[in-house]
Amino acid sequence: MSMRWYTLVVDCHDIAAQARWWAETLDYVIVYEDAEEVAIVPRTMETDPVDDVARFRALPPGLVFVPVGEEKTVKNRLHIDLAPHTAEDRDGEIAALLDRGATRVHVGQPDDVTWTVLADPEGNEFCVLSSRDR
């Protein structure tokens, strides 16, 4: 038995702004939005029901943004890793993220790592890995 990783839930203050920031970052689209949650999924994802279990399990996860009142106080215990393709400009992608409101953060990583730690506009850490083709 196995289950599909369906979504990752992100706690935040401005759920609409965070959802739109991540949708642009990942080339996702908003599929649901109200005052209590905003859900985004890959632009290419099927939205019709999937009868085949293997196809259902192969679908990529979405992100759901929900409101919280408290401030973020410590490093995330779970974070997203992003990776550009080898044909893409990794430094350019990082610069674009920084231009859109991401910030560089230090979470204890040594200076010689192959990834860059950033935080989204509300301070949630994520990494941009080295370029790869798989």
Instruction: Report which residue type is found at 39.
Output: A
The total of structural domains in the chain comes to 2
Residue recorded with tokens 């991540």? 22
Q: Are residues 63 and 11 in the same domain?
A: yes
CA distance 94 to 35: 31
**The pLDDT of residue 14:** 97
Does residue 74 lie within any of the structural domains? no
Does residue 106 lie within any of the structural domains? yes
Q: How confident is the model at residue 2 (pLDDT cuts 50, 70, 90)?
A: confident
Element (H, E) at 24: helix 15-26
Q: Which domain holds residue 48?
A: 7-67
Does residue 27 lie within any of the structural domains? yes
Q: Are residues 63 and 85 in the same domain?
A: no
Both tokens of 77, joined, read: 């215990």
Q: Which of 19, 45, 67 is the last residue before a domain boundary?
A: 67
Q: Which of 38, 67, 96 is the last residue before a domain boundary?
A: 67
Q: What is the pLDDT of residues 46-97, one digit of tens each?
A: 778 999 999 999 999 999 999 999 988 888 889 999 999 999 999 999 999 9
pLDDT of 1 strictly over 70: no
Per-residue DSSP letter, 4: -
Cβ(15)–Cβ(23) below 8 Å: no
φ/ψ of residue 102, rounded to 5: -70, 160
